[in-house]
Amino acid sequence: MSRPLLSVDHLQSGYDGTPVLFDVSLTIGEGEVVTLMGRNGMGKSTTIKTVMGLVPATGGEVYFEGRRVDGAPAYDVARQGLGLVPEGRQVFPTLNVEENLVATSANRAGGAARWSLKTVYALFPRLAERRAHFGSQLSGGEQQMLAIGRALMTNPKLLILDEATEGLAPLIRKEIWQVLADLKDTGLAILVVDKSVAALERLADRHVVLEKGRTVWTGSRQELAANPDVKDRYLGA
Ligand SMILES: Nc1ncnc2c1ncn2[C@@H]1O[C@H](COP(=O)(O)OP(=O)(O)OP(=O)(O)O)[C@@H](O)[C@H]1O
């Protein structure tokens, strides 16, 4: 694997003194797509929030491009080049599409300004058509496109999606997966959580499985395909 872009080592965190993450470790290389898998409540969202600095780490370390980021405020973590598409999208309902997109661009990472309104609209023509619509007027799929576009506007080196296609109609899901595959082809590193194991298996280079706040399995796409017992044991309904 190439040099890790993100390295999460023995991460611990929780809420109000109640531990949720006990020992989460994972790495993401430049341009790699990695999934975070596990049943409901196993700590996937908490891992993402802790990496982003939205929930404080109580133990372990997080490095991004070799720089330690745990303990840094969330806006600072984002500015290092981590773009979050949060669970539930969280678009601003009273801002229109264009205002939503511009709202985060102040948080741009230092690197090359790859993303702009023009390139986001080229990726999501539907957002261009809806550019004057308020966030609250958009469908779930459009809101997710906007949430992805908003994260891209920060020019991330790593895009993190929590529940990439939750609650979306099948056709829209397909569209989102295609966009993620296209982004992967541009060399963008992606960390993704979703319930669709099949879609994740197609997209990802590597998988990380959590159970009760611990990393219990990690392996390549080929290794997961060769180990159906991993899916039975950790991902089954
Ligand atoms: N804001 C919070 N306050 C207190 N406990 C929380 C909070 N958010 C999550 N938890 C608890 O932390 C544990 C892990 O939740 P988390 O959302 O990280 O899991 P997940 O793997 O993302 O699952 P899901 O797919 O259901 O979102 C659960 O027991 C959950 O109840």
Task: Supply the pLDDT for residue 108.
Answer: 64
**Sheet of 57-64: strands edge to edge?**
67-68, 57-64, 4-15, 18-29, 214-220, 206-211, 33-37, 189-193, 158-162, 82-85
CA of 39 to the centre of ligand 1 (A): 11
Confidence of residue 109 (pLDDT cuts 50, 70, 90): low
How far apart are the CA of 54 and the centre of ligand 1, in A?
13
- The CATH number that applies at residue 224 is 3.40.50.300
Asked if the model's pLDDT at residue 197 lies above 80, the reply is yes
Of ligand 1's atoms, which has the minimum distance to the CA of residue 195? Answer: 25
pTM metric for this prediction: 0.94
CB 72 within 8 Å of CB 26: no
- Section 34-42 average pLDDT: 96
Q: Average pLDDT of 185-189?
A: 96
Among 219, 183, 184, 181, smallest CA distance to 199 is for: 181
User: Which helix (H) or strand (E) element contains residue 199?
Assistant: helix 197-203
Domain that holds residue 198: 4-235
ipTM of the complex: 0.96
pLDDT for position 111: 57
User: For the chain, how many structural domains are there in total?
Assistant: 1
209: CB partners within 8 A, 6+ apart: 37, 38, 215, 216, 217, 218, 230, 234, 235
Give the whole-angstrom CA distance, residue 66 versus residue 62: 9
Q: What is the mean pLDDT of residues 179-205?
A: 95
| Ramachandran sector of residue 40 (left: φ over 0; alpha: ψ -120 to 50; beta: rest) | beta
Both tokens assigned to 131 = 């550019």
pLDDT for 118 beyond 60: yes
Mutate to test the pocket of ligand 1, among 12, 22, 45 (most ligand atoms within 8 A of CB): 45
List the residue whose alpha carbon is closest to atom 28 of ligand 1.
Answer: 41
Beta bridge pairs of residue 175? none
Residue 51 has pLDDT above 90, yes or no: yes
Whether the CA torsion 45, 31, 66, 105 is positive or negative: it is negative
Confidence of residue 89 (pLDDT cuts 50, 70, 90): confident
